[in-house]
Every structure is written in structure tokens, then in C-alpha cells.
């Protein structure tokens, strides 16, 4: 953010939400049901909840209606792919159902919930990330699937599978944790067969900041849907605090932000990456508001980081807010044979205004508006 654009007191949540409404009347011109659009809509909904501006709610409903018909069928969604990414948008579907009570949204959410009940699992009972990635646990997938898993049960007063929600979080943490750094790897292949994984641990080669961002956001988000009496809830709180403490040790000391490859900030070509940094900061801000984290430990860190995030990542052009320095994608395997190497993470395009960065900025700026 060039200094003339504003400062930490600027109403970035409203400016950015208004930018989305003007710049992107349709959230997905390809007609694809994509997780990053749900991430962006989640941010818009949080700002609606904070401001009461009905234009934001109308925007969400209008865009969801491009995908969901009156029978709750979702355009371009295929259950048989068992893709956790495709469940993420279910969270905003639940919010809009709660606002409108229209049956089609409940029917759509039912379909996504049923996918989770049938989702393939590792031997340890953690969801596969996708059918095409057998036996693989990705941190991304916890955010995509398991927060919705809990939210659906919370909204409809179901408790049958809440212990399984906890198991997803604790199982993924255990499977991906590196005890030396306290960080979690992007993914783990339980079968040790993927060409990218360590043959002994099953871990992917590197720590990737956005995957860690997905995970800490998921932990903060899921807690409000779990009863305090549920066994394992406090362990999620403990894991959240431990992972964030480890992340703090790898934050850039000048900015309190994070590099694309989390633990190699001094390596040539590595760069401060916005989407992952914004996700982690959003988790910290919401965690503070919900009292999962200590203000004494995290308050000043967050305030400095937010100011630096605005300077490093945010610009304004023709009254439109831009979120810059977003790693376009990051994955493992697939047709591109992504190997999870440092070179791979450096090779992915760096883009602006991708919803994987815009969504977390909407959420973070809204949390900071509440905080200030």
C-alpha cells in the first residue's frame, strides 16, 4: 500500500468489498464451482454481518444463484470426484440459507454434507484430499471440508459426527507435523507411494505458507461450532497456539509477514507472499477476538503485521483496491507432476486479485475494523 492510499484507520473492509461488487459482478466467468470464490464470498458475508449493508448480501445470493437451481443441484459440481475443494463453498451456502430460509440452499448443502459422509479416508480415518490423490492428507483440505462439516452439524443441531470433525483436525496435525520446527508440511501421503513424498515420513518436501494459512484459519473457524464439552476441542486450541508460535519464529523480522516457502526466507528468489500471510494474520485477529490467543503475546505483533501487509501487498488503482503478490496456485502431483520442490514453489505465477488473496484480505480487514 503506497502511503498516500490510506493507513490502518482506513475502512479497508468496505473499500475492498465495494471494489468486488463493482469490478466483479459475476464472481466466476468460467462457470466453475471453485473454492476461492467461496473464500471471497465468506469475506463479503463477514463484512455484511459487520455493516448490515444489504448490497453485500444481494451480491452473494445473486452469485450463488448462478450455480444452484431450485432442486439444490450445483452447476459443475460432481460428487464422484470426492474433491474436498468443492465443499468449501458450502459454508457460504449455509449462511445464505440461514438468511433466506430458501430450500434450495439447504438441498445444496445436503449434497455437500453427503459427500463428506462418503469421502474416502486414510487408514487413520482422515479424508483423502481428492479421489485422484489417494491416501493423501493436504492441509488445504481441512479448511475446505472439515469446517463445513462442523458448521452444517451446528446449524442443523446434529452431533453424530462432531467427534469425527475433531479427528480430522487432530489427525491432519499429527500426520503433517515436523517436530523439529513445529510447522506442518503441506501434505502427507500415508501410503508413501507419491513420487513427491519422503519415503519414510510421507511428508511433502517443504513448508508452504498458504497451506499453513488454510490450517490455522480452519482451526480458528471450527472452534465456534464445537461444544466446550467435546473431547479434543481444547487440543485443537493447543495445536493452534503451538503452530502459530512456530510460525512466529519464521516470520520476517522487519514485517511480521511470511515467505512463500515458510522457513527459507533468506533463500534467493523466495518472496513475501500475500495470501498465506493474510490468512495467518486473519487467524490471529479472529483468535484474539474469540480469546483463543493471548493479547499480550499477539496484539502488538498483529498490529505491526497488518500495517506492513497494507504496505507490502495492497494498492489502489482508479479507486479499486488491489491485493498483490499472490501465489496463483500451489499443489502436488497431478498432470503437471508438481514435485513440491523449492523450484516448484518459485515457478508458480505471482498474480493480483486472485480470490485466494482477496478473500483473506476481506476477512482480515474486517477483523481489524472490529479490533480498532
Indicate which residues carry an active-site annotation.
140
207-243 burial, b at 16+ Cβ within 10 Å, e below that, comes to bbbbbbbbbbbbbbbbbebbeeebebbeebbebbbeb
Residues 104, 69 contacting (CB under 8 angstroms): yes
CA distances from 246 to 44, 236, 242, 341 (A): 30, 15, 6, 22
The DSSP string of 305-347 is HHHHHHHHHEEEETTEEEE--EE----SBTTTTB---HHHHHH
Query: Would you state the cell numbers that stand for residue 220, as one nine-digit string?
Result: 480458528
Q: For residue 31, what are the CA distances in angstroms to 28, 64, 75, 111, 215?
A: 6, 11, 8, 19, 27
CA-based angle 124:229:94, to the nearest 5? 75
> What sections of 198-255 are H helices per DSSP?
209-223, 233-250
Quote the cell numbers at residue 208.
508452504
Cell 495470501 sits on residue: 275
> What is the Cα–Cα distance from 116 to 218, expressed in whole angstroms?
16
Q: How far apart are CA 182 and CA 154, in angstroms?
A: 31
- Please name the residue ranges forming H helices in the chain: 12-23, 35-51, 54-65, 90-100, 103-118, 139-141, 147-155, 162-176, 209-223, 233-250, 274-289, 295-313, 342-347, 355-371
Residue with grid cell 486472485, as numbered in its chain: 354
Amino acid at each position: 500500500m503506497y502511503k498516500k492510499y490510506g493507513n490502518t484507520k482506513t475502512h479497508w473492509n468496505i473499500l475492498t468489498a465495494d471494489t468486488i461488487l463493482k469490478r466483479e459482478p459475476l464472481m466466476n466467468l468460467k462457470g466453475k464451482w471453485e473454492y476461492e470464490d467461496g473464500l471471497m464470498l465468506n469475506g463479503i458475508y463477514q463484512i455484511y454481518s459487520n455493516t448490515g449493508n444489504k448490497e453485500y448480501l444481494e451480491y452473494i445470493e445473486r452469485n450463488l444463484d448462478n450455480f444452484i437451481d431450485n432442486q439444490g443441484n450445483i452447476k459443475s459440481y460432481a460428487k464422484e470426484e470426492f474433491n474436498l475443494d468443492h465443499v468449501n463453498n458450502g459454508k457460504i451456502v449455509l449462511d445464505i440459507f440461514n438468511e433466506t430460509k430458501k430450500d434450495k440452499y439447504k438441498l445444496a448443502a445436503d449434497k455437500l454434507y453427503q459427500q463428506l459422509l462418503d469421502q474416502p479416508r486414510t487408514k487413520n480415518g482422515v479424508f483423502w484430499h481428492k479421489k485422484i490423490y489417494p491416501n493423501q492428507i493436504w492441509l488445504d483440505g481441512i479448511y475446505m471440508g472439515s469446517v463445513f462439516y462442523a458448521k452444517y452439524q451446528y446449524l442443523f443441531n446434529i452431533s453424530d459426527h462432531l467427534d469425527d470433525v475433531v479427528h480430522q483436525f487432530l489427525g491432519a496435525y499429527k500426520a503433517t507435523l515436523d517436530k523439529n520446527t513445529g510447522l506442518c508440511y503441506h501434505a502427507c501421503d500415508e501410503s508413501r507411494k507419491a513420487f513427491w513424498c519422503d519415503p519414510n515420513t510421507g511428508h511433502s518436501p517443504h513448508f508452504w505458507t498458504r497451506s499453513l494459512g488454510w490450517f490455522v484459519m480452519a482451526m480458528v473457524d471450527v472452534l465456534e461450532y464445537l461444544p466446550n464439552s467435546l473431547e479434543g476441542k481444547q487440543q485443537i486450541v493447543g495445536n493452534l497456539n503451538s503452530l502459530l508460535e512456530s510460525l512466529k519464529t519464521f516470520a520476517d523480522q522487519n514485517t511480521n509477514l511470511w515467505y512463500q516457502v515458510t522457513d527459507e526466507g533468506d533463500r534467493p528468489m523466495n518472496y513475501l507472499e500475500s495470501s498465506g500471510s493474510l490468512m495467518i494474520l486473519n487467524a490471529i485477529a479472529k483468535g484474539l477476538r474469540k480469546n483463543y490467543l493471548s493479547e499480550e503475546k499477539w496484539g502488538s505483533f498483529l498490529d505491526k503485521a497488518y500495517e506492513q501487509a497494507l504496505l507490502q501487498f495492497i494498492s489502489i488503482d482508479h479507486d479499486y483496491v488491489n491485493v498483490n503478490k499472490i501465489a496463483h496456485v500451489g499443489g502436488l502431483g497431478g498432470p503437471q507432476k508438481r514435485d513440491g520442490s523449492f523450484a516448484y514453489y518459485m515457478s508458480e505465477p505471482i498474480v493480483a486479485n486472485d480470490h485466494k488473496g482477496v478473500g483473506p484480505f476481506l476477512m482480515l480487514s474486517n477483523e481489524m475494523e472490529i479490533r480498532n
